[in-house]
Structure 1
């Protein structure tokens, strides 16, 4: 029998049944708690109910849930059935859902009652979907999980899974075409916990650990789910919107001891004017998603006597490079590869480069947390490798002491406030608007978010550019067409776009123009 993370969590439940596994605070202060034993029994109950209703080993299930206790129960239950979990952001729209269902051949969806409408808009085009389960209020045409588990036993069950079975199928944006389905096997949580999930995230059984990532993202699987439950800690969950002063107050009031947040969240918290009034007792703090700047590190060290440690990873693997506890922090550096792992800087042919040379950040094919490939896409998988090295798509360098430094994307992917956004998806949404003839989307440097999505748009009728509402109109159109976080925060109207002789848009010219403009402004 192979490794199954859900059954490992059950072991913790038997050892410390009354320990709080999930501590959830609603926006207006109400608190919900779930013990490890309750988590074990409720996930058992749901797993049995799902298996009775046709969810079995190998079933692919799209999960669309916001932050709360439910994702923990649902994910563990699905793993106990041997199914494949397809994390989905609550911001996905019907076109995103349709693509994922078609691509993966998903047969079931579990969605919060507020998110079922987007699925319903896709139903007629998704014949493989035969099971529709909702969380929360009753929805016509959906079966609530509450009714599904009624009178079902919560006794332990045993499902044999192999290490090579697909546990998670996460989708990540590509520069061309639709999102890529990233395949991770059932053994992945074991390997993640062995190094990154323990020595970088650093959760202890005594911690109230707050990892701010939301369900639907690979980072939620990394930290709020695997790293916290896998180390027997308590997962702190806040169901409200991000406000920097609210986050600081929550950490004070609920005695959060471990924080993992995005650099954007840290930056905005560091800018709170009266930050010194908060009495926060963090034992450990870390960040990932984009480079962390010196101002944030200095502010948290000065105000809370805590060093915020940076880290670097991808949906395709796990955290690869990081500043571990007791390691010297070098502001702006991602840290070092974890002991026993092979991460390097390579050239276009996959040959390791010398100290200080800029090249591709690459992971050796033997790395234990490396994905198994892109689902049903051998060509994309093959293109991701240079010889024995998987190339992340990022450029970097390594200094004489082995610290890695991020130098930028080697493709057109946009990372904004920790979100990974493919320009193709935004462009595809924009050109569906009747007033848009052509467009190009690139990353534009931004002080708070690292980068924002910026669109260069050619209108069918140039006079429409005089309409003072046109920018907001296009932004709202993108929000409705695809996930809202992808919308262009800046739009400029142009007469032409830079192109190659074959007619391909040269986004690199637009990116360089944005970077030069930002550098000139800073200068």
Structure 2
């Protein structure tokens, strides 16, 4: 890749990448839900509606640099909201609809959010917040009017369809995404407008192979950085048509939609691919319109790749990246015999496998995947956490925390996490968050959470629990603990496996030896 193409202009706003595809005829999005209801919107309609909302935000006094927590789902309005915020220079803090009130109040206060924009079914979780939110001035809802909330539809209706996009510089903040760590609360990852420029040029073309003629289905949901990566920026920034399905995952339904909607590019999680590969009637579908299928979030099993290759003559291409970056490593199928590897760095000049001192390790030796600190699509900082930001670098490199080796051809081979973060069905889960929830139960004395291998989800959350004296570890108590965690934190974080033990293995200094637990 020509590195000169990644030199972001000093004055740059991500929204311009979508605006340049303005057209009254070209469809930006095709949407449907599981009941069969369908909608579509052209690029012109999407941009005009976003302009109205950008004007509405300005009318409310929400200005360049203000933070807004956005909690929505797979809806056309989600694209309107994100594009409007980018146009207005407002910093978006994406929040999954799976988050609970304790997660949300942390994000609201840590980000100093001036406003909430959410879909009406999720209002309840915000209204459960009892703590002060001193920076919050506006609560905006869409889809249905809610008492004491501003209606997004009303805000839009009174505004002009024209808006002059706010002038932003390449290092101005665009996104503040929260990601789980092994200890403490989630990290606030800051991405600039310049990050978006580099992301589009690295990921959308070479990996996703998107052209303006394509219909592209990226299944990620708003609230996750992967949604910003693919459904928002890669698809709309390429002038393609995005397909949006708002419904529960069912393997047969997904395969039917891929066939009927003539999807050209598919971006799924490994879990979705695994479950489709296990579908009894997979051979009965015709996916001859599909020219690209990619997977990210965790390593994909070779067996699944083989099923899609056998049935549809298409190679699922694995990709690797982090919330802090963009796509870093990808399998571009230049050598079929390398299937099963992570692939090669898209920008080899910026990637390395290093030791604990930040020095490159020899070929075939395991070390930590590292990104040179001047990589054009690397995050700006961890918000309000200078110490954590600085400690993530060693020498010239940002350390990803993932272990791998590379071979003589510069193909990377994933080994596992350097820390204890759990990746399950593409979700990143910090053990501390689950442990913190479990410890609130009056039966729990101590606990520790680790990843447990699973054939469908890659990993699931497993909790080792030490109970208070006199309490018996029964199946019923195990189920109660699972439900307890579901009720106070995002449901995808709950421990699917609970094992009661007498004591936790610890080091001499008292730290829990998770490595010993993972071997159980």
Distance 2:349 2:240 in 1: 26
Cα distance, 1:37–1:325 mapped onto 2, change above 3 Å? farther
3-state secondary structure, aligned to 1:380: helix
3-state secondary structure, aligned to 2:110: helix
**Residue 12 of structure 1 pairs with residue 21 of structure 2:** yes
2:35 to 25, 28, 33: 28
2:419 to 402, 411, 423: 411
Structure-1 residue corresponding to 2:129: 122
- Note the C-alpha offset of 1:28: 1.1
CA contact (8 A) 1:2 1:187 kept: no
Instruction: Give the 5 Å matches for 1:60-209.
Output: 60-122=67-129, 124-209=131-216
Instruction: Give the 5 Å matches for 1:305-384.
Output: 305-324=313-332, 326=334, 328=336, 330-339=338-347, 341-384=349-392
CA contact (8 A) 1:455 1:491 kept: yes
Deviations 1:423-480 (A, max 9, x none): 00000000001111110000011111111100000111453313x3211111111111
Distance 1:419 1:158 in 2: 34
Distance 1:481 1:123 in 2: 14
Distance 2:181 2:337 in 1: 32
Cα distance, 1:123–1:44 mapped onto 2, change above 3 Å? farther
Instruction: Give the 5 Å matches for 1:507-518.
Output: 507-511=514-518, 513-514=519-520
Distance 1:43 1:112 in 2: 16
Structure-1 residue corresponding to 2:65: 58
Cα distance, 1:33–1:360 mapped onto 2, change above 3 Å? same
CA contact (8 A) 2:321 2:329 kept: yes
1:248 to 243, 252, 255: 255
1:441 to 418, 424, 449: 449
CA contact (8 A) 1:353 1:359 kept: yes
2:44 to 37, 44, 61: 37
3-state secondary structure, aligned to 1:245: helix
Instruction: Give the 5 Å matches for 1:248-267.
Output: 248-267=255-274
- Note the C-alpha offset of 1:383: 1.4
Q: Structure 1 unaligned runs (5+)?
A: 515-523
How high is the TM-score relative to the length of structure 2?
0.96
Structure-2 residue corresponding to 1:212: 219
3-state secondary structure, aligned to 1:63: strand
Deviations 1:8-55 (A, max 9, x none): 211111xx3311101111111111101100011000000001110011
- Note the C-alpha offset of 1:509: 1.4
Comparing 179-188 with 157-166, greater Cα deviation is found at 157-166
How high is the TM-score relative to the length of structure 1?
0.96
Q: Structure 2 unaligned runs (5+)?
A: 1-9
Deviations 1:49-71 (A, max 9, x none): 11100111001000000111111
Distance 2:211 2:418 in 1: 37
**Residue 431 of structure 1 pairs with residue 439 of structure 2:** yes
CA contact (8 A) 2:443 2:471 kept: no
Structure-2 residue corresponding to 1:398: 406
**What is the aligned-residue RMSD (CA, Å)?**
1.2
- Note the C-alpha offset of 1:329: 5.9
Distance 2:162 2:16 in 1: 13
**Residue 472 of structure 1 pairs with residue 447 of structure 2:** no
- Note the C-alpha offset of 1:184: 0.4
- Note the C-alpha offset of 1:327: 5.3
3-state secondary structure, aligned to 1:453: strand
Distance 1:339 1:96 in 2: 35
3-state secondary structure, aligned to 1:156: coil
Distance 1:321 1:331 in 2: 13
- Note the C-alpha offset of 1:285: 0.5
CA contact (8 A) 2:370 2:398 kept: yes
CA contact (8 A) 1:363 1:392 kept: yes
Distance 1:384 1:329 in 2: 34
Deviations 1:61-117 (A, max 9, x none): 000001111111000000111010000000000000011111111111101101111
CA contact (8 A) 1:444 1:453 kept: yes
Deviations 1:283-312 (A, max 9, x none): 111001111111111111111111100000
- Note the C-alpha offset of 1:125: 2.0
Structure-1 residue corresponding to 2:236: 229
Distance 1:169 1:201 in 2: 25
CA contact (8 A) 1:199 1:325 kept: no
